Amino acid sequence: MLARLSTRALKPSAIQAAAQATRTISVQVRVVLNYQSILHGSPEAQAEGDVQVQQHSRLVARGKYVHGFEIHRVKPSEVANYKKAATDYYATIKDDPELRVKLSGSWEVVVGEQDTFFHILEYENYDGYDKTVAKIRNSEYQNAYSKMIPYLNSRESQLCQEFAFFPTAPPHSEGGIFELRKYQLKPGALLEWEQAWRKGIEARRHYVEPVGAWFSQIGRLHQVYHMWQYSDLATRKEKREEAWQLDGWSETVAKTAQFSKFMDSLILEALPYSPLK
């Protein structure tokens, strides 16, 4: 009765205003709920995101190994001391059969970001990574690693997977220089990038054999690396010019620019204990 009387008592304009307010509140509630769903991840959104990540990994990855990228930026005055400490650590763990890890290589940047060192470690998938890290933390290796820390300005780590079409080369000693190319992709561009490079690499590898290619899964995301080895910079220039004569290579390069936010080219030299050198 009171509800009927109060409605009759309202003027038409007041009734319309009340209805509009109700609709506004309803919209605001839906917006807040949707925002919370996005913020915290609804089951539907989480499932869709997990499926996309799994599909990307299955489609482009060689899933047998996980590669850890350890990037150390060293104080310029401490490079010599750092190299000795790095040798004491990395050259030791690579020869321990009880650790489920292999050292793919260790390099110093000679053109690009100076006083920077890259170490790439190959783990027997994520289980191998977990067990290796746990074993190192409870052994004398941790002390050897700690001796590098005072010489660093900063450090960074990533866990990456290999592209299936571009497996990491086995240990060898060919000498010369390495080029590490690093791409920050636009989110969602990984599959297109892989398809473009799969075509380009198949043609280019007749001129120079790649060392490896990886994409990040933990750490800085949407990053891609690939590495090449040349006898010297003059040979690098020659091989890259030859690649432009290949059918489809210009298209691969054009799509790389389309899918990338930025890219870097670093020239590296292998450290003496590096299995790849």
Residue with tokens 């060192």: 117
For the cut 80, the answer to whether the pLDDT of residue 226 exceeds it is yes
pLDDT interval class at 25 (50, 70, 90): very low
Q: Which of 14-28, 88-102, 198-212 ranks highest by mean pLDDT? A: 88-102
φ and ψ at residue 251, rounded to 5 degrees: -65, -40
pLDDT interval class at 224 (50, 70, 90): very high
232 in helix, strand or coil? coil
Q: Among 266, 268, 269, 62, which residue's Cα sits nearest to residue 168?
A: 62
| pTM of the predicted model as reported, rounded to 2 decimal places | 0.77
CB 239 within 8 A of CB 229: no
For the cut 50, the answer to whether the pLDDT of residue 124 exceeds it is yes
How much of the chain, in percent, has pLDDT values that exceed 90?
A: 58
> What single letter denotes the amino acid at residue 107?
W
Q: How many residues does the chain have?
A: 277
Which pLDDT score, from 0 to 100, does residue 49 have? Answer: 40
**Residues 237, 241, 243, CA angle at the centre, nearest 5°?**
120
Name the least confident of 31-40, 88-97, 109-118, 229-238: 31-40
Three-class HEC string of 46-78: HHHHHHHHHHHHHHHEEEEEEEEEEEEEECHHH
Which pLDDT score, from 0 to 100, does residue 86 have? Answer: 98
The number of CA neighbours under 13 Å toward the Cβ of 84 is 6
Rounded to whole angstroms, the maximal C-alpha distance in the chain is 94
Dihedral (CA of 248, 252, 253, 257) sign: positive
- Tokens representing residue 8 in the block: 């009759």
- How far is the C-alpha of 64 from the C-alpha of 260, rounded, in Å? 27
At a CB cut-off of 8 Å and minimum separation 6, what does 3 contact?
A: none
- How far is the C-alpha of 88 from the C-alpha of 164, rounded, in Å? 33
- How far is the C-alpha of 102 from the C-alpha of 120, rounded, in Å? 9
**Residues 197, 228, 176, CA angle at the centre, nearest 5°?**
165
Q: Which residues on neighbouring strands pair with residue 70, listed in sequence order?
A: 119, 157
Q: Among 268, 163, 167, which residue's Cα sits nearest to residue 223?
A: 163
pLDDT interval class at 56 (50, 70, 90): low
Name the least confident of 6-20, 231-245, 247-261: 6-20
- Share the mean pLDDT of the chain: 81
The model's pLDDT over 129-181, given as tens digits with 9 standing for 90+, comes to 999 999 999 899 999 999 999 999 999 999 999 998 888 999 999 999 999 99
φ and ψ at residue 55, rounded to 5 degrees: -65, -45
> What single letter denotes the amino acid at residue 187?
P
